Structure 1
């Protein structure tokens, strides 16, 4: 390696402080910025990076890993803790879904189903996802056939209108695939699906499909870390500009996806620590939600009147406002969220709020509710795993036992 090259933080010979500095720099954070996000000072971060301070306890390491968005805890700690944190286990259906995405079958003799038929199957797939506790298993079984047929429908389209409809169905199939692939150990495959979904959406010229693809692409950028926040903002801004002129007489689905994009802009602002901007976007999204029927629930984004309370919890948590997070959690009602995985995700956000506020026992109880709603959601969620592992080292015996029980259920600890 050239002497002036950036060291690789994953090399075994690099100590914790050096890894911390490299990962912090790659995320575009100052020492003061990183310290503030974990409740410490910039000089404390400097002490870790220079080796003046020893490697902190697991609960602090987990908090640093969360802020730095490392995919595997060993990226930060070396061989001391080879634990996957923000990436879940590879699902048994992952190989079949990957094979379908990567297939390049140009000589299939079968006749493709119509775009309308594929859309009907997509509607059933989304309904099954929302109602199933093992939603990844459900999607993993449906996606290979859907991807194959949607790709084939595009290839066999011979009229412009038919091809646009097929592209919309293909894009929405890739959107479904992104929900399956999220937080699995295949980031390149996730990005390939996101990009293909966006291209197919643009080819479809359908505002609703374009909005969904933009919503998911923005999430992929944001979850890649602070260095990608600008890209996330660009995608949401362009999509909002595209959709805004259509909203005066738009149907509920287009209005909902526009509202979901507004919230995504607020979510990214909260990740940046921009409180005023984050809440302004939330307010705009809430006003759009109120234009929807009370019983309406968007099948992809979950945007609805019911979801805005959950979104408020997320904004407060991302801003690290413990008291406000708990107030928003108390005001929201997860029981009104019809989707089991989305309800579980909300419970995890509530648990983050309670832990921020120092209510560890309530946080664990809330994670138990998340597990009851959708075990696969919590198994793939890095925030939930961080809380559980941190409390598994609690000095309070009952709390430690409760956390250990959850850790066993998630496969983080041996039974």
Structure 2
């Protein structure tokens, strides 16, 4: 087990005997992956927080699960595509409670509207991933991928594949998720439309995070550079196909990748270069991701006061980001 998380047997023995703690998020995540448990199981404080979150969202999850797996239910939506677009806007603005409440009816509606299925199941999948319900997220992502196969649109397929990757990455299937992201990015980036470049860029970014999570800094940097080339080609911080992809999002991911690699100084240096005012105004969850990463970097440097300041900024700007997400998820904060 020590070898699987890149640590010595003596280190693991000290952790098991309570002689030292584990305060590095990447190490906690690797331990959880190897043990095949949720990361919140490994610390009592996080477990308590997770249980509190579960009490708040259990009712929504049960309704979403029933809508996904059983079907039926009332559909009172005049324009399904407008409702799907609003759900994406609410998600990106970190209004997760509104999205969760809307999803059961939305699922019933998109099942009856073929044109809305890809984008509809995409927002279902990303919301479920955000709250850590990865099994249902994979169901929704797979339905988006099936619907994308009918449209023949490479951006539809890329959107759906991205959500499949998001749902797989926090699980024991992380290797499969990474392979899927990289292969799909390479296929889509040859397109000629900004929407295709955006989807391919988003896949390169999640591929970079995946590489960083297994400690491969070289692959992570190469994929970040691939994404940056596409962002330069687009020339602006856009939001094609709800990807929030552009130069600033690439810069945000450079911070996240440094944190995943456990390089706090590099993360803080990269954070200084992020110009958040360039992002479109509705991308609140993207804006606060930098503060989340700064908090982790400062915590790794034992600078608790600075970490607290960063978390308070997240709480001020987008309180549902910290309340709805029991596990730090940097891969799907679109």
Note whether the superposition's TM-score is higher than 0.5: yes
Partner of 1:173: 120
Distance between the aligned counterparts of 1:81 and 1:145, measured in 2? 32
2:170 is aligned with 1:223: yes
Number of positions where the alignment pairs a residue of Structure 1 with one of Structure 2: 321
2:182 is aligned with 1:237: yes
Whether the 8 Å CA contact 1:72–1:83 is kept in 2: the answer is: no
2:83 is aligned with 1:83: no
| Residue number among 247, 268, 272 corresponding to 1:326 in the alignment | 268
Q: Which shifted more, 372-381 or 261-270? A: 372-381
1:232 Cα offset (Å) = 0.9
Q: Report matched runs for 1:1-16 at 5 Å.
A: none
Partner of 2:288: 344
2:136 is aligned with 1:189: yes
Q: SS in structure 2 opposite 1:223?
A: coil
Quote the RMSD (CA, aligned, Å): 3.2
| Residue number among 86, 90, 94 corresponding to 2:61 in the alignment | 94
Distance between the aligned counterparts of 1:285 and 1:93, measured in 2? 35
Q: Which shifted more, 199-208 or 82-91? A: 82-91
Which fold has the larger relative contact order, with Cα–Cα distance below 8 Å and residues 6 or more apart in sequence?
Answer: 2
2:321 is aligned with 1:377: yes
Whether the 8 Å CA contact 2:237–2:278 is kept in 1: the answer is: no
Partner of 2:160: 213
2:3 is aligned with 1:66: no
Partner of 1:264: 206
1:288 Cα offset (Å) = 0.6
Task: Specify whether residues 335 and 381 from structure 1 end up closer, same or farther in structure 2 by C-alpha distance, changes over 3 A only.
Answer: farther
Task: Specify whether residues 112 and 332 from structure 1 end up closer, same or farther in structure 2 by C-alpha distance, changes over 3 A only.
Answer: closer
1:62 Cα offset (Å) = 7.4
Q: SS in structure 2 opposite 1:100?
A: helix
Partner of 2:249: 307
Partner of 1:140: 100
Q: SS in structure 1 opposite 2:239?
A: coil
1:365 Cα offset (Å) = 0.4
1:120 Cα offset (Å) = 3.0
Whether the 8 Å CA contact 2:189–2:201 is kept in 1: the answer is: no
Distance between the aligned counterparts of 1:80 and 1:363, measured in 2? 17
Whether the 8 Å CA contact 1:112–1:152 is kept in 2: the answer is: no
| Residue number among 197, 207, 211 corresponding to 1:255 in the alignment | 197
Distance between the aligned counterparts of 2:45 and 2:89, measured in 1? 42
Partner of 1:45: 12
Distance between the aligned counterparts of 2:276 and 2:291, measured in 1? 7
Unaligned runs of 5+ in 2: 330-334
Distance between the aligned counterparts of 1:207 and 1:319, measured in 2? 32
TM-score by length of 2: 0.83
Partner of 1:126: 88
Q: SS in structure 1 opposite 2:38?
A: coil
Distance between the aligned counterparts of 2:328 and 2:163, measured in 1? 22
Distance between the aligned counterparts of 1:42 and 1:71, measured in 2? 23
Query: Which entry has the higher C-alpha Rg, 1 or 2?
Result: 1
TM-score by length of 1: 0.68
1:178 Cα offset (Å) = 1.8
Unaligned runs of 5+ in 1: 1-23, 25-30, 155-165, 386-415
Task: Specify whether residues 285 and 72 from structure 1 end up closer, same or farther in structure 2 by C-alpha distance, changes over 3 A only.
Answer: closer
Distance between the aligned counterparts of 2:292 and 2:63, measured in 1? 29
Whether the 8 Å CA contact 2:255–2:267 is kept in 1: the answer is: yes
Whether the 8 Å CA contact 2:118–2:148 is kept in 1: the answer is: yes
2:259 is aligned with 1:317: yes
1:222 Cα offset (Å) = 1.4
| Residue number among 140, 149, 156 corresponding to 1:202 in the alignment | 149
